[in-house]
Amino acid sequence: MNQSTKLLSSSRLRAAIAFALVTLLAFTLAGCGSSASSSASASGAASGGKVTLTNVSYDPTRELYAEYNTLFADYYKQKTGTDVEVVQSHGGSGKQARSVTEGADADVVTLALAHDITLIEDAGLIDAGWESRFDLNSSPYTSTIVFLVRKDNPKNIHDWDDLVKQGVEIINPSPKSSGAACWGFLAAWNYALEHNNGSEDAAKKFVADLYANVTVMDSGARGATTTFVENGQGDVLVDWENEAIASVAAYPGEYEIITPSSSILAQPSVAVVDENAKKDGVTEVAKEYLEYLYSDDAQRIEAKNGYRPSNEKILKEYADQFDLDIKLCTIDDFGGWNAAYKKFFDDGAIFDEIYTK
């Protein structure tokens, strides 16, 4: 090989090595890109900047979280110097849970019942043991199911047995998509058991008669409220206590709240969606966001929005707003949510048996 050929080969070799190094560097930077992106929120939290959380919630919590998110953002900014923006999503609780399992990028979920969060856990997005991560089984506030009637209660509705009378038109969301409807179904079932010597056959007939009077079954609690309050349909709305409180406040003198002789302790649940929060780099902020729901300031916002604070002392401050003497059964009376869902709400279960419309 002559000298010029050697020089040419050496030049080509150096060029090839340089090209390989540039290509390797490009791939290395590209590989780091997703990692850098996923940690951007975390680094923002450490040094100021901005963090974005997505909260997938159920239908009637829009006003609650609009107010709470401002409170939390102020608290977190003062504590860390970091701005927090919370993106909200609302709908029927069951539908919202399914949307997360199907890919909705929720960092936290604040849903109407524990079973809906269990669905997300079963999909591998929430770590086992989520109920024990926050106080009171991860239920920072509670509610119950009441009746909303029109002024002067023209159909004379006072208890569950009045709902099965001929000619009463009920507005109620669907247990297939609404947490409020599941809680309400169980409250009605429990009432029927207590008034029929524990007979499940009698309870089944009772709820069948009740649902035969349902004239509009919306997919979510807020939709049912709109149907009754704004569209003027039906004689009675069976729904969350907070929805009834908000309706009476918004339309003074037009509606009345009827608290039945018994109902159910409804316990909305909250959880960090671990896989999504980790991917988005917001795990610690998400935890603090849910933990702060138990703070005194947040508990009072919850009460202001018609939810019963889990803090008993603060709950008593609002004794004029809530009937604290109502007899409440609990989900434990039904064997927990897994047992209740299998018996009443799964495909082919009791609700499907009795609802024929």
Q: What is the pLDDT of residue 117?
A: 98
Tens digits of per-residue pLDDT, 296-345?
999 999 999 999 999 999 999 999 999 999 999 999 999 999 999 999 99
Cβ-based burial of 337 (10 A; exposed 0-12, middle 13-18, buried ≥19) = buried
Task: Give me the phi and psi of 140, to 5 degrees please.
Answer: -75, -15
- Beta partners for 49? 82
Q: Is 321 exposed, middle or buried (0-12, 13-18, 19+ CB in 10 A)?
A: middle
Pair 90, 220 in one domain: no
At 74, which amino acid appears?
D
**Segments forming the whole domain that contains residue 21:** 3-38
Q: What is the CATH number of the domain that holds 333?
A: 3.40.190.10
β-strands 108-111, 269-272 pairing = antiparallel
pLDDT of residue 48: 65
Residue 195 buriedness (CB in 10 A; 0-12 / 13-18 / 19+): middle
What whole-number distance in Å separates Cα of residue 303 and Cα of residue 314? 8
**Do 222 and 340 belong to one domain?**
yes
- Rounded CA-CA distance 61/66 in Å is 8
- Quick one: 53 and 125 in the same domain? yes
pLDDT score, position 357: 56
278 shares a domain with 170: no
Nearest to 148 by CA among 77, 55, 70, 241: 241
Total domain count, the chain: 3
Per-residue pLDDT, 241: 98
Low-confidence stretches of the chain (pLDDT < 50) are 1-47
Predicted TM-score of the model (pTM): 0.85
Bridge partners (DSSP) of residue 58 are 91
Give helix 283-291 / helix 62-80 axis angle, nearest 10°. Answer: 120
Residue 82: its H or E element: strand 82-91
Report how far apart, in Å, the C-alpha atoms of 175 and of each of 63, 184, 214 are: 23, 9, 12
* Pair (129, 204) in one structural domain: no
Are 247 and 164 in a shared domain?
Answer: yes
My answer on whether 81 and 53 are in the same domain is yes
Both 347 and 244 in one domain: the answer is: yes
- Taken as a whole, the chain contains a residue count of 357
**Integer Cα distance of 242 and 257 in angstroms:** 11
* Residues 47 and 185 placed together within one structural domain of the fold: no
C-alpha 6/C-alpha 11 separation (Å) is: 9
96 shares a domain with 150: no
Residues 187, 103 within the same domain: no
Same domain, 188 and 239: yes
Q: What is the dihedral of CA 63, 327, 149, 229, to 10 degrees?
A: 20
